[in-house]
Structure 1
Amino acid sequence: MLRGVTIVDSAGVVRQQARLVDAYAPQLVTTTPPAASYRYFMPHRALPALARQLGRARQTALFLGAGDFHHLTAAMALAWSEGPDGAPSRPMALVVFDAHPEWSVPPPGYIHCGSWLPEVLAMRHVAAVALVGVGPLSSQGLLAPRLLQAVAPAAREGRLRVYPALRATADELEAALPRLRRVTSLEAGLEAAVDDLVAFLGDAAVYVSVDKDVVRGEELPGRWGGGLLAARDLLRTIEALTMRLGDTRLVGLDICGEYEPRLPLPALDPVVALHEAFNLHLLELVLARRATGHPSGPQLAAA
Structure 2
Amino acid sequence: MNMYVSLLNTDATLLWQNKLLKAGDALVDLSQVRSLRFMSPRKVLEEVNLNLSQVPVGLSFLGSGDYHHLTLLFLKKIPLPFTLIVLDWHLDLNTAPPGFVSCGSWLREALNLSQVEEVYVLGVQEEMLPGVSGHLRSAGEMVKFKIYPARTFPLAIRVVPQEVEGRMVYISLDKDVLAPPFAWTTWDQGELHPGPIFYLLRSLKNKARVIGVDVCGEYSPTSVVLGPYELAKVQANEIFNIALLKLFTGSKRLKTSAKVV
Which bin holds the TM-score, normalised by the shorter protein?
0.7 to 0.9
Q: Which whole-Å CA distance do the structure 2 matches of 1:253 and 1:293 have between them?
A: 21
Q: Which whole-Å CA distance do the structure 1 matches of 2:53 and 2:117 have between them?
A: 19
Q: Which residue of 2 aligns with 1:255?
A: 215
1:224-263 deviations in Å (ceiling 9; x for gaps): 1211101222222212221222xxx211111100001112
Q: Which whole-Å CA distance do the structure 2 matches of 1:144 and 1:94 have between them?
A: 17
1:293: how far off?
5.5
1:28 maps to a residue whose letter is: L
**Given the superposition, is the C-alpha separation of residues 266 and 58 from structure 1 closer, same or farther in structure 2, using an over 3 Å criterion?**
farther
- Residue 98 (structure 1) aligned to one of 73, 76, 88: 88
Q: What is the SS of the residue equivalent to 2:221? A: coil
1:174-197 deviations in Å (ceiling 9; x for gaps): xxxxxxxxxxx21xx2xx423432
Q: What is the SS of the residue equivalent to 1:38? A: coil
1:3 aligns with 2:26: no
Q: Which residue of 2 aligns with 1:278?
A: 240
Q: Which residue of 2 aligns with 1:165?
A: 150
Contact preservation (8 Å) 1:62, 1:253: yes
1:265: how far off?
3.0
1:116-166 deviations in Å (ceiling 9; x for gaps): 11111101111121111111225xx86276534335862xx5x21112112
| Aligned counterparts, 1:15-30, within 5 A | 15-22=15-22, 24-30=23-29
1:147 aligns with 2:128: no
| Aligned counterparts, 1:178-197, within 5 A | 185-186=152-153, 189=154, 192-197=155-160
Contact preservation (8 Å) 1:51, 1:78: no
2:28 maps to a residue whose letter is: V
**Given the superposition, is the C-alpha separation of residues 229 and 237 from structure 1 closer, same or farther in structure 2, using an over 3 Å criterion?**
same
**Given the superposition, is the C-alpha separation of residues 77 and 259 from structure 1 closer, same or farther in structure 2, using an over 3 Å criterion?**
same
1:55: how far off?
4.2
Q: Which residue of 2 aligns with 1:229?
A: 192
- Residue 108 (structure 2) aligned to one of 118, 122, 133: 118
1:45: how far off?
3.9
Q: Which residue of 2 aligns with 1:131?
A: 121
**Bigger CA drift: 196-205 or 266-275?**
196-205
**Given the superposition, is the C-alpha separation of residues 290 and 15 from structure 1 closer, same or farther in structure 2, using an over 3 Å criterion?**
same
1:296: how far off?
8.7
| Aligned counterparts, 1:230-245, within 5 A | 230-245=193-208
Q: What TM-score results when the alignment is normalised by the length of structure 2?
A: 0.86
Any unmatched runs of 5+ in structure 1?
81-88, 167-184
Q: Which residue of 1 aligns with 2:225?
A: 265
**Bigger CA drift: 281-290 or 141-150?**
141-150
Q: Which residue of 2 aligns with 1:14?
A: 14
Contact preservation (8 Å) 1:2, 1:251: no
| Aligned counterparts, 1:202-217, within 5 A | 203-217=166-180
Q: Which whole-Å CA distance do the structure 1 matches of 2:257 and 2:82 have between them?
A: 25
2:18 maps to a residue whose letter is: A
Q: What TM-score results when the alignment is normalised by the length of structure 1?
A: 0.75
Q: Which whole-Å CA distance do the structure 2 matches of 1:252 and 1:144 have between them?
A: 26
Any unmatched runs of 5+ in structure 2?
none
1:283: how far off?
0.9
Contact preservation (8 Å) 1:39, 1:69: yes
1:74: how far off?
1.1
RMSD over aligned Cα, in angstroms? 2.8
Q: Which whole-Å CA distance do the structure 1 matches of 2:249 and 2:84 have between them?
A: 18
2:60 maps to a residue whose letter is: L
